[in-house]
Amino acid sequence: MNQTVSSVNVPAMSGQRVHRRLLSVAAAALSITVGALALTGCSDDSGEAKTKGRDLTALQCPMEETGETGGANAYRPAKNAFDTAELLGLQLAEAREKAARHNCEIIVSREDDKSRPVPIEIDPTRIYVYIAHGAVSQIEGVGGGL
């Protein structure tokens, strides 16, 4: 038994076969939806990172030499190292005091959009900063090329 639909012969499907096909499509869609919701609900993203240890992307001072790697000196944060991002927003004198507590020195490489001469030697206790209106506005780096 064939029906003609728009000049195309299509075999007629019984109501029971159509019903089964719709149920299988609905069941598949439901399974995918439930799976996606379960995966989303399983993540523990409460907005806060729950990691232990130091932030490996942080610029820390002081650094200490660990030897050579691939022909170049390698450095790692010293035991008393701190994240130099803590200096952002501090007045220069206050930032220098905080850095000194960790045996680090602040070098101002740019002040109010004007570059300043800086030492070029590698020193893992130097923090190079930008100053705007007397406060630390950016951390350029630590050590001078580390």
| CATH code of the domain covering residue 131 | 3.30.10.10
C-alpha distances (whole Å) from 40 to each of 26, 27, 33, 48, 133 are 21, 20, 11, 17, 46
Which of the four pLDDT bands, split at 50, 70 and 90, describes residue 48? low
Same domain, 111 and 72: yes
Same domain, 80 and 137: yes
CB count, 10 Å around CB of 106? 24
The tally of domains found in the chain comes to 2
Q: What is the pLDDT of residues 76-130, one digit of tens each?
A: 999 999 999 999 999 999 999 999 999 999 999 999 999 999 998 999 999 999 9
Same domain, 69 and 129: yes
Same domain, 11 and 71: no
Nearest to 64, CA basis, from 53, 78, 52: 78
Structural domain including 24 reads: 2-40
